[in-house]
Amino acid sequence: MGWKFQPSPTLSLMAASKDPRPCSIADTLAVVGEKYSLLVLREVCLGNGRFDQLVRNIGAPRDILATRLRRLVDAGILVKQPYSERPQRFEYRPTRAGLELEPVLMTLMAWGDRHLRTDGDRPMVVEHSCGRALAPVVTCRACGDEVRHEDLRAHPQAPGWTVTGPAVA
């Protein structure tokens, strides 16, 4: 992508460059929305954090991958840890903030499983500690109910928003 960020961007600077609205979705995508970034996170969460592993597993060009890794480290989503001195070798690992993006990955995976695989074959099953295959559901922390579009109403807290009201095809 190129979610527009400056040469030497403090995190706060680059986030709000183009989107006319203040929005945490846009800001988050400015950090992890570029091509490959979320796939990097997928690999790193699986424990495959070495540069060449990432190149092989993601299929990204090495230079782009290097750029993405720098960015994710800058954003506090990954850390670069040495796993061997002499020869110096590094491994990228998720920080706590990085791990908190894992639910996004799970939700994306679930959507893809449901809507993109008519054959019904999941290429990957994630097992939850309860013993079952994970089927992630987004719920409301307050009431515990599954979040459905009809139950949501948006309340802009800052100028720049117009909300016409929900409508579904």
Contact residues: DNA, CB under 7 A: 1-2, 4, 18, 34-36, 50-53, 60-64, 66-67, 69, 80, 83, 86-91
157: its two tokens:
């807290």
Per DSSP, the residues of 52-95 read HHHHHHH---HHHHHHHHHHHHHTTSEEEEEEETTTTEEEEEE-
Q: Which of 108, 67, 72 is nearest to 93 (CA)?
A: 72
- Can you tell me whether residue 3 is helix, strand or coil? coil
Q: How far is the CB of 68 from DNA (least distance, A)?
A: 8
Nearer to DNA, 51 or 113 (CB): 51
Exposed, middle or buried, 73 (CB in 10 Å: 0-12/13-18/19+)?
Answer: middle
Which of DNA, its own copies, none does residue 87 bind (CB under 5 to 8 Å by kind)?
DNA
Question: Residue 21 or residue 62: which is nearer to its own copies going by CB?
Answer: 21
Q: Is 67 in the site for its own copies (CB under 8 A)?
A: no
Q: Site for its own copies (CB under 8 A): which residue of 7, 87, 120, 165?
A: 165
**Whether the Cβ atoms of residue 7 and residue 64 lie closer than 8 Å to each other:** no
Size of the site for its own copies (CB under 8 A): 110
Q: Which is nearer to its own copies, 19 or 51 (CB)?
A: 19
Q: Residue 67 or residue 122: which is nearer to DNA going by CB? A: 67
